Chain A
Amino acid sequence: MLNHPSDPALLPRLLWSGLLLLLLAPTLPLTGFNPLALFDGATLKTLAGFVAGFLPPASDAIFLGEVIRSTVTTLAVATAGLALAMLVGMPLAFATTRALDRHALTGASASRWAEAGKSLLRGLMVLLRGVPEIVWALLFVRAAGLGSLPAVLALGLAYGGMLGKVYAEILESQPRGMARALRAAGAGRWQVCGYALLPQALPELVSYTVYRWECAIRASAVMGFVGAGGIGQLLDTSIKMMNGGEVSTLLLVFLLMVLATEGISRLSRRLLESRRGGATLAAAGMLVPLASLAWLLPAWREAGFDSGSLLRFAGEFLPPDASPALLADIGRGALETLAMALLGTALAFAGAALLALPASGRVGRVLKGLARLLLNLLRGIPDLLWAALAVLAVGLGPAAGVLALALHTSGVLGRLFAETLENAPPAPEQALRALGAGRLRAFCYGLLPEVWAQWLAYALYRGENNIRAAAVLGIVGAGGLGQQLYLALSLFQLPTAASLILAMLLLSWLLEQLSRLLRQRLEAAVGQMA
């Protein structure tokens, strides 16, 4: 065996795997995730009873009426929220984009005051999008009471920060020639933007906005979990009451809604290609937000809105609590959050790899179809929703978060992995097969090396996303910083909540830096290999 090692790189491979396992080992006690607990008698019985209750889906008229109203509210909230986000994002993008900088267009030196102002606005956008929309929603629900208005405000702020940044970048990525020419001819900032940049960038801007609308619908559907109305609130109640029939109806409606939005989004991208389609799209872009407002307005009018109490509430957050006891708690919460994300992503990587093989069509048509269906289901249900369901299966705490992240991320990664498998050059594997290697070996040494770096890059990117997600899963009871935040806000300990939000922001920022570093290393390594 030693004379003819079947794998010359066996030792380093084993070392790396061992190192990874060593890194994952502490996540088990930290999250209390015990795969065996899933199969423990009592859990299985509770779960079996609940799942058996899924059939038949609830279909009585009163409930269905409620579901339809809530679904329309969810759609209206997403649309109105995105409209508000555009109102926030467009001026921010216009003010901060480097594409309109005088010094970039004419070569004149930059004004220090203008630059400082722009930095300030950019910082504001980082803050707006750094706080997850579900946290914004929770804050507004606490400040302004229940209902759909907090959800719209939350989407408006979180997505406003995102749109502002991306709109600015889209403008910056356009060719500058026309803008320079107009500027040289004496045109002002508005004119350069309106006549040179916008016409070039419009398709990209619209297409990104439509994509964000799709995301907003998923986000709006889960905001109900913090009391912000819509289909999520119904789901929350049905899950708490362990009413399986209602849960299955709601999940079906949710999946249909996500599918329908994806369809509309594809259609609108196609419309964008013709002038007539563009006009239709513009008309829809005007009418749909107005219809949404009309739908939401009566409830808002009844609930009332008091900006004074909102400001008082905001004031109560200051100053953030920095007592050593709380900082220790936050440290523990952050560690729990990191462990949840790490273990969840690792499990998802394994699950995705397993599902990607049939999904790429390597083991027959039927299995391909089934695997794709499963992947779509896993991916289509947002992690927060999985977490709410997982809390039932494994109880409150970080273990539910691990399960939720593992399930949702398996779906996301599985699809991407299957695509890389399909796109990888088949020659090396075929050559190994022709030389007499078995199926498994040919796959491991012919195909896997082709896709491995890409898989790792995807996993790294999702891992980063998952830390951000893990930080908020606790809002539905799945441990980590989110659970502490929910508790603090429930007890009106607002300075504590402020510190927790700052910790979330810090964690997310640190992570972005680390991931950028890692990705650069990875790219360099891949470059060397090539």
Chain B
Amino acid sequence: MTALKLTLAGALLAVSALVSAEEAVLKVSAIPDEAPTELQRKFAPLGAYLEKELGMKVQFVPVTDYAAVVTALTSDKIDMAWLGGFTFVQASQRGKVVPLVQREEDSKFTSKYIANAEAGINSLKDLKGKNFAFGSASSTSGHLMPRYFLQKQGIKPESFFKNVAYSGAHDATVAWVASGKVEGGVLNASVWDKLVEAGKIDPAKVKLIGTTPAYYDYNWTVRGNLDAKLQQKITKAFLKLDPKNPEQQAILELQRASKFIPTKAANYKGIEAAAKEAGLLK
């Protein structure tokens, strides 16, 4: 019975210790739309820059799925996150969050439809009765917006395609299409361009068959109860990033941004409507 009492006491101690949490660290995360190592590589110089500008420690918290980032931000486990349009809408439904900045490119974002080059597919229509891959189910550019635009064209994915699968991330979608596992797929235009520039797309295996209309996507969002002064400082630090400064240009390059611009929640009303229409939001 002593064992029982000791364990009980330990557990109580544990719970009481959990209640207090206040630290001078800015905890930052990002939706895992690419491989985790790629996310860390992209964030490292930006994190160092923010540490210098804000005068506080900045810690990157790696997270394995989209929804977990939403939960973490709305339950104050992290202070700031790089969200997609859809995850931002989910987060603002589940708690108070404030969008600070976005890349200039995010105000006119697109997705790219791709197909396996050997499958004899030249347009979306040719994908009828074939296998198709979205990215993560919670992705804006890899799922929500393409689904929305497909439906506008009268294509209901579940009946139009033979099989609808979720690869989990944009780079994974490309790998699937290249391997022939699925005949077609859709991904974020920015990741597509990056892979093309890096020579990671074999034109003999994957080809581009279409582009969606433009929409608002990614932003940097903080939890609503983060100190207002700190919010301003973060915004300023992002807006100050100057492409003419070589060191800062490297940061922008990694973020695939020409520059950062302020953003507001109203920019994402369109995404919210699309999510409702696509049946992903109730």
Interface residues of chain A, those whose CB is within 8 Å of chain B, are 32, 42-43, 45-46, 83-84, 86-87, 90, 141-146, 149, 227, 233, 236-237, 240-242, 282, 285-286, 289-290, 293, 296-297, 300-306, 309, 395-397, 477, 487, 489-493
Instruction: Given A141-B68, A145-B77, A490-B138, answer yes or no on A84-B165 (Cβ-Cβ < 8 Å).
Output: no
Give chain B interface residues in 237-259, CB to chain A under 8 Å. none
Q: How far is the CA of A287 from the CA of B25 in the complex (A)?
A: 34
Q: How far is the CA of A135 from the CA of B94 in the complex (A)?
A: 22
Q: Counting CB contacts under 8 A, is B24 at the interface? A: no
Write the chain A residue with the least CB distance to B64. A227
Q: State whether A493 touches B7 (Cβ < 8 A).
A: no
Which one, A84, A286, A302, A492, contacts B67 given CB within 8 A? A492
Q: State whether A241 touches B35 (Cβ < 8 A).
A: yes
Q: Counting CB contacts under 8 A, is B195 at the interface? A: no
A46-B179, A296-B14 given; name 15 further pairs at CB < 8 Å: A43-B179, A45-B179, A83-B11, A90-B4, A144-B71, A146-B72, A240-B168, A290-B6, A293-B11, A304-B76, A304-B77, A395-B165, A396-B167, A490-B66, A491-B67
Q: How far is the CA of A144 from the CA of B18 in the complex (A)?
A: 12
Q: How far is the CA of A86 from the CA of B72 in the complex (A)?
A: 30
| Interchain residue pairs with CB less than 8 A apart (22) | A32-B163, A42-B181, A45-B179, A86-B4, A142-B67, A146-B72, A146-B77, A227-B64, A227-B65, A241-B36, A282-B3, A286-B3, A293-B14, A300-B17, A301-B20, A303-B21, A303-B77, A304-B18, A304-B21, A304-B77, A490-B136, A490-B137
Per-position contact with A for B46-79: 1 when CB-CB < 8 Å, else 0?
0000000000000000011111101110011100
Write the chain B residue with the least CB distance to A486. B137
Most buried by A among B64, B90, B138: B64
Which one, B3, B72, B168, contacts A285 given CB within 8 A? B3
User: Nearest-CB distance from B81 to chain A (Å)?
Assistant: 12
Chain B residues near A293: list those with CB within 8 A.
10-11, 14
Which one, B21, B76, B163, B175, contacts A302 given CB within 8 A? B21
Chain A residues near B63: list those with CB within 8 A.
146, 227
Q: Chain B interface residue count: which class?
A: 35 or more
Q: State whether A396 touches B166 (Cβ < 8 A).
A: yes
Which one, A142, A301, A490, contacts B21 given CB within 8 A? A301
Which one, B7, B19, B36, contacts A289 given CB within 8 A? B7
Q: State whether B14 touches A297 (Cβ < 8 A).
A: yes
Give chain B interface residues in 86-112, CB to chain A under 8 Å. 90, 93-94
Q: How far is the CA of A290 from the CA of B11 in the complex (A)?
A: 9
Write the chain B residue with the least CB distance to A147. B77
Instruction: Given A237-B64, A293-B10, answer yes or no on A397-B37 (Cβ-Cβ < 8 Å).
Output: no
Give chain B interface residues in 1-52, CB to chain A under 8 Å. 2-4, 6-8, 10-11, 14-15, 17-21, 23, 35-37
Instruction: Given A146-B72, A227-B65, answer yes or no on A237-B36 (Cβ-Cβ < 8 Å).
Output: yes
Chain A residues near B224: list those with CB within 8 A.
none
Chain A residues near B93: list those with CB within 8 A.
492
User: Nearest-CB distance from A40 to chain B (Å)?
Assistant: 9
Chain B residues near A491: list those with CB within 8 A.
67, 90, 137-138, 280-281
Q: State whether B7 touches A87 (Cβ < 8 A).
A: yes
Chain B residues near A240: list those with CB within 8 A.
35-36, 168-169, 172
Q: State whether B70 touches A492 (Cβ < 8 A).
A: yes
Most buried by A among B17, B70, B71: B71
Sorted nearest first, the 9 A-B pairs with minimum C-beta distance are A304-B21, A305-B18, A286-B3, A42-B180, A396-B165, A490-B67, A145-B77, A145-B72, A395-B181
Chain A residues near B169: list those with CB within 8 A.
240
Write the chain B residue with the least CB distance to A305. B18
Chain B residues near A241: list those with CB within 8 A.
35-37
Q: How far is the CA of A395 from the CA of B131 in the complex (A)?
A: 11
Q: State whether B11 touches A87 (Cβ < 8 A).
A: yes
Q: State whether A301 touches B17 (Cβ < 8 A).
A: yes
Q: Counting CB contacts under 8 A, is B282 at the interface? A: yes
Q: How far is the CA of A142 from the CA of B68 in the complex (A)?
A: 6
Instruction: Given A241-B36, A397-B165, A493-B282, answer yes or no on A145-B68 (Cβ-Cβ < 8 Å).
Output: yes
Write the chain A residue with the least CB distance to B17. A301
Q: How far is the CA of A289 from the CA of B2 in the complex (A)?
A: 13
Chain B residues near A492: list those with CB within 8 A.
67, 70, 90, 93-94
Q: How far is the CA of A236 from the CA of B62 in the complex (A)?
A: 13
Chain B residues near A282: list those with CB within 8 A.
3
Q: State whether A305 touches B68 (Cβ < 8 A).
A: no
Q: State whether B137 touches A487 (Cβ < 8 A).
A: yes
User: Nearest-CB distance from B164 to chain A (Å)?
Assistant: 10
Chain B residues near A490: list those with CB within 8 A.
65-67, 136-138
User: Nearest-CB distance from A220 to chain B (Å)?
Assistant: 17
Write the chain A residue with the least CB distance to B144. A491
Q: State whether B75 touches A309 (Cβ < 8 A).
A: yes
User: Nearest-CB distance from B174 to chain A (Å)?
Assistant: 13
